[in-house]
Amino acid sequence: MTKNHEEHVGILHGGGGVYMHKFIKEHILPNFRSRRRFIEIPLKLLADSAVIEEIAFTTDSYTVKPIFFPGGDIGSLSVSGTINDLAVIGSEPIAISCALVIEEGFPLSKLDRILKSMDTAAEEAGVEIITGDTKVIQRGKLDELIINTAGIGKRNKLLDENLKHVSRDGRSLKSRWLDPRNIRPGDKIIVSGPIGEHAIAVMVARGELGLEISGIKSDAAPLNGLMSKALEVGGVVAAKDPTRGGVASLLNEWNETTGIGMIIYEEKIPVSDEVQTASEILGIDPLELANEGKVVLAVTAESAEEVLSALRSDPLGREAEIVGEFTADFDGVVVKTEIGGLRYLPMPIGDPVPRIC
Amino acid sequence: MTKNHEEHVGILHGGGGVYMHKFIKEHILPNFRSRRRFIEIPLKLLADSAVIEEIAFTTDSYTVKPIFFPGGDIGSLSVSGTINDLAVIGSEPIAISCALVIEEGFPLSKLDRILKSMDTAAEEAGVEIITGDTKVIQRGKLDELIINTAGIGKRNKLLDENLKHVSRDGRSLKSRWLDPRNIRPGDKIIVSGPIGEHAIAVMVARGELGLEISGIKSDAAPLNGLMSKALEVGGVVAAKDPTRGGVASLLNEWNETTGIGMIIYEEKIPVSDEVQTASEILGIDPLELANEGKVVLAVTAESAEEVLSALRSDPLGREAEIVGEFTADFDGVVVKTEIGGLRYLPMPIGDPVPRIC
């Protein structure tokens, strides 16, 4: 990359990969000092949600382009995404906020449609939209609409019992939440369903693909119900939703946090024929594509099959698979390809698709 | 207004006045349905923060232009504003989020300066920035930078004792928080210091005034410490920070919520000479100008003088004044002018200055 990338913010700084992580470590974390207060899951862990005084707290700004796409819109996305960030650390989302920044001249009919989508997703997840803000920016100074949703959650009542299952093997827990710091070699990796659908649906809606693919819809959906089904079984060690940078970014983050390698069996990774076809044409690895209604779980070997069954009993987890496991045999994320070879799965440079969420 | 304003979002819909309130009532509230859960301060009250399960929760997106101005920048503003929204309902802010949406090509040196300002304001307020998000938008599709900060707070320990003072006169409280629904005729209105400084500072920085005014700085500052000083005295009924639409919008909102009229003594309203001069030249009422480091309090008559003294003991409240009182004699917000006349102070159409915060 040229020197320019050092001195100015570039598209890749928001892309969920190597550049974004470097940007956060060099510019966000050093500027935001930690203070006296004890924070159970602090900023520096870069978890999906922070936890302070038993309150889970998260935020996301949504800049997806186009704002309407097959399977959803910026409204449903903004609610689902934030609920999922709360759910994957083991909290039960209770409320979210809605901060709109709107370009002058934006049609009110479209805005109503988007707000209704937010309400529908909130209804589905059983959370309330309880606070908000509205700003309007002059025409031409913003591309339609940005929505920020922050969310708060309380400790899921199932979490303590779930973690008892985790520590049955004698491991000492570094955190009382779902947290990759609790992962140990042998833990299984579960993906809750077919990957890459959100990214491909948005790309198709943009008309950028130069190809027609029918039947692909964004998977945007709130996963707090699905997470509770897994927690009810017990043995869930960590969870994360593979958004920007996809499963590849997620697994590399876990690798960095844990220092433990993993092996992923390519044949086990759920991918629809449509996403597979589109990915091949585009030369993109589906593992790097963003999802908005999927979760990756680290589960104890003992509980993995039972958690898998619980996930599959839910419409949002019907095609879940155990795709691999943590292992001391490797130091990085290794994929066993369908023809039996081994390859490292690197941290993506950045999401191949800008403004995917 | 033309029909166009009905069908498209206009600048005034974000301006904090008549149009924004109409917009919120016609588009936001009907789309976001309330559900089963009990919410102590729900969305429909349009309070500065919502309260659910004893957690205060608020959000604001900051779009101020220019991003640096005398006395602050978008960073200090974004932290102070959200802390103030938490503080004025009687909560103690504990944490805030930082969601950045950045235009591609934005200089990293400026970003670092802004993030440091956020950190400094957070330090001053004793809160932690614990979670965040970063998105980057293509060059030309955003005007530099938008920051959203959401915040969470816990019930201020001084609040129960403060409300005991409020109910000494036998009134029954409609809410356990600082809440205009608890206001009764006779309650005094206090403004914590000179008004309009933020708006004029931003206008001067924009070079839009066509006049040179030196010495005006934005008042952006976190007010949680000042609020606690007032609560320690007791008798504070309600509080709100006069941002978009200024004190005029705030008092009209309280009038609408309470149904109680009020009289404001113009000579008591603290305004600096510089703001007064600029307002006269521009033909703007200082009461309509945005503030970012001021609070308006409704206080029982019994406690008003003592609360005033407590505010004045703090550098941020040194020039506080009792500016008027709630009264059954009027149905709206009435200003007694310096020459002794009476005039209604209407709800502003919208902030005279767009992108002020």
- Between residues 212 and 251 of chain B, which touch chain A (CB distance below 8 Å)? none
- Interhelix angle B108-125/B74-87, nearest 10 degrees: 30
Say whether B99 and A13 touch across the interface (CB within 8 A): no
Strands (E), chain A: 50-52, 55-62, 68-69, 72-73, 91-103, 128-137, 145-155, 188-191, 236-240, 261-265, 296-299, 321-327, 333-336, 342-344
pLDDT at residue number B6: 54
CA A180 → CA A92, A153, A189, A302, distances in Å?
A: 19, 19, 12, 18
- Give the DSSP letter of residue A102: E
When pLDDT is averaged across residues A237-245 and rounded to a whole number, the result is: 97
For chain B, say whether A122 makes contact (Cβ under 8 Å). Answer: yes
Distance CA B5, CA B18 (A): 13
Residue among B341, B339, B101 nearest A146 (CA): B101
CB atoms A43 and B14 under 8 Å: no
Which residues are registered as beta bridge partners of B24?
A: none
Residues A173, A178, A183, A188: is their CA dihedral positive or negative? Answer: positive
CB-CB under 8 Å, B131 with A61: no
From CA B355, how far away is CA B99, in angstroms rounded?
Answer: 18
Note the pLDDT of residue A351: 79
Distance (Å) from the C-alpha of residue B288 to the closest C-alpha of chain A?
17
Is residue A11 over pLDDT 80?
yes
- How far is B38 from chain A, CA to nearest CA, in Å? 10
The verdict on a CB contact (< 8 Å) between A14 and B134 is yes
Report pLDDT for A175. 93
More confident residue, B16 or A152: A152
Radius of gyration of chain A (CA): 20
Closest chain A residue by Cα to residue B98: A59
Domain A41-155 has CATH 3.40.50.740: no
Q: Is A100 on the interface with B (CB under 8 A)?
A: yes
B172: contact with A, CB 8 A cutoff: no
Q: How do the domains of chain B map onto residue ranges?
A: 4-153, 159-344
All residues of chain A having their beta carbon less than 8 Å from the beta carbon of residue B43 are 128-132
- The alpha-carbon gap from A8 to the nearest alpha carbon of chain B, in Å, equals 4
**Can you tell me the distance from the alpha carbon of B179 to that of B155, in angstroms, rounded to the nearest whole number?**
13
Beta-bridge mates of residue B251: none
Q: Do you know the residue count of chain B?
A: 357
User: How much is the pLDDT for A5?
Assistant: 47
Judge whether residue A353 has pLDDT over 70. yes
Count Cβ–Cβ pairs < 8 Å, chain A vs chain B: 265
Q: What is the mean pLDDT of chain A?
A: 94
Rounded distance between C-alpha atoms, residue B118 and residue B103, angstroms: 19
- Cβ–Cβ of A57/B138 closer than 8 Å? no
Per-residue model confidence (pLDDT) at position A331? 95
Q: Residue B211 is encoded by which pair of tokens? A: 């006049």
Q: What confidence tier does A2 reach under pLDDT thresholds 50, 70, 90?
A: very low
| Nearest chain A CA: its distance from B354 CA (Å) | 8
Who among B14, B43, B141 is closest to A129 (CB)?
A: B43
CB nearest B134 (choices: A13, A31, A112): A13
- The ipTM estimated for the assembled molecules is 0.95
| CB nearest to A8's CB, from B31, B52, B106 | B106
Distance from CA of A127 to the nearest CA of B (A): 8
Fold of B4-153: 60s Ribosomal Protein L30; Chain: A; (3.30.1330)
Q: Which chain A residues in 8-47 lie under 8 Å from chain B, judged by CB atoms? A: 8-15, 20, 23-24, 27-28, 31-35, 37, 39, 42-43
Share above pLDDT 70 across residues of chain A, in percent, rounded to a whole number: 98
Report yes or no: B243 and B202 within 8 Å, Cβ to Cβ.
Answer: no
Whether B137 and chain A come into contact, CB under 8 Å, resolves to yes
CATH of the domain spanning A159-344: 3.90.650.10
- A7 pLDDT higher than 70: yes
A130 touches chain B (CB under 8 A): yes
Q: Which residues, in sequence order, are bridge partners of residue A41? A: A51
Q: Is B6 exposed, middle or buried (0-12, 13-18, 19+ CB in 10 A)?
A: exposed
One digit per residue, pLDDT tens: chain B, 357 residues?
A: 444 445 899 999 998 889 999 999 999 999 998 776 789 999 999 999 999 999 999 999 999 999 999 999 999 999 999 999 999 999 999 999 999 999 999 999 999 999 999 999 999 999 999 999 999 999 999 999 999 999 999 999 999 999 999 999 999 999 999 999 999 999 999 999 999 999 999 998 998 777 677 889 999 999 999 999 999 999 999 999 999 999 999 999 999 999 999 999 999 999 999 999 999 988 999 999 999 999 999 999 999 999 999 999 999 999 999 999 999 999 999 999 999 999 999 999 987 778 999
- Angle at the Cα of A287 (from A282 to A288), degrees rounded to 5? 65
Determine the average pLDDT of the residues in A128-139. 96
Convert the pLDDT of each residue in A274-324 to its tens digit.
Answer: 999 999 988 999 999 999 999 999 999 999 999 999 999 999 999 999 999
Helix or strand holding residue B262 (H, E): strand B261-265
Tokens of B154: 């816990």
